[in-house]
Amino acid sequence: ETVYLNGDWLPAEAAKVSVFDRGFLFADGIYEVVTVYAGQLFLLDRHLQRLNRSLSALGIANRSDSEWQQLFEQAIQKNAIADGFIYLQVTRGADTKRSHLPATMLTPTVFISATHIQLPTELPEPVRVCVMDDIRWLRCDIKSISLLGNILLKQQAVAMGGMEPLLHRAGRVTEGASCNYFIVKNGRLITPPKDELILPGITRDWLVELARDNGIEVHEEAFDLDALYAADECFLTSSSREIQPVGWLDEHMVADGRPGAMTRQLADLFRANAPIAAAK
């Protein structure tokens, strides 16, 4: 595996960062994950926009979109990626000592890798998710590398036999540890609004637009656990999982546990409009 680190391309084992890197010491950094379908970056512009938002939230200088694009394309080429993803991480850089207050003129640490993954080729079987209290901070809109809350929640969900947590704050549904959620009730497609409690998922946004372009109304509105348990359909979205039907909320079966009509329609729209995963 060939990775990019601060201007160099080198074998992953040879890529080293300082122990004074603020990413290592404080998780003072951000990341982005871009899906690659058949060697092509999917929805790159949207990822670069979100990257820009994350960087400016931390006060880290950005590069031009074309510079990122070139680096990502090189990473795809050097690793011969057909289907997979680009991982980009930018931290505030290596300081001279450990201090919460960063020195002013640090050079950001930039790391890029390209990894092959098997992307779904059809709608996957419904999964169980675990409804859990959202214990994370109040700026979940920043794609921060500080993911301890997400990790603890994911571990607990998996220990309880779920694939993902489905998080709520005082009964209001937010998102997962690494995905966004949608529900359908009486034909109404609902997903939580974009605010500081959720990451604005690229897949979420794209699906919302795709649905609207195809005459399906989408309601970006807060909903609570009562609405969740009353839902006819539930699914989650993320770059790597696309659309994943949810069949169980802990022990509660969503309708008959099978993917509903709206979920299947949206998955078909997704397939028809995304460059589909390369045939195996």
Catalytic residue positions, numbered: 143
44-51: long-range contacts, CB 8 A cutoff, minimum separation 24: 44/69, 44/72, 46/202, 46/205, 46/206, 47/202, 50/143, 50/200, 50/202, 51/88, 51/143
Q: CB under 6 A: which stretch of 90-98, 152-160, 176-184, 267-275 binds ligand PMP?
A: 176-184
Two structure tokens written together for 136: 């994370």
- Pick one of 109, 191, 237, 244: the residue that binds ligand PMP (CB under 6 A): 237
Indicate which single residue of 84, 168, 204, 228 sits in contact with ligand PMP (rule: CB under 6 A). Answer: 204
Nearer to ligand PMP, 81 or 153 (CB): 153
Q: Does 79 bind ligand PMP (CB under 6 A)?
A: no
Query: Where is 166: in which H helix or E strand?
Result: strand 164-169
Where do the H-state alpha helices sit in 84-213?
148-159, 202-213
Does 54 bind ligand PMP (CB under 6 A)? Our answer is no
Q: Which of 153, 199, 211, 231 binds ligand PMP (CB under 6 A)?
A: 199
- For the chain, counts of helices (H) and of strands (E): 7, 15
Closest CB to ligand PMP among residues 190, 199:
199
Residue 129 binds ligand PMP, judged by CB under 6 A: no
- Which among 185, 224, 182 is positioned nearest to 207, based on CA atoms? 182
**Closest CB to ligand PMP among 128 and 204?**
204
Beta strand pairing status for 164-169 and 252-253?
A: unpaired
Footprint on this chain of ligand PMP (rule: CB under 6 A): 33, 175, 178-180, 199, 201-204, 237-239
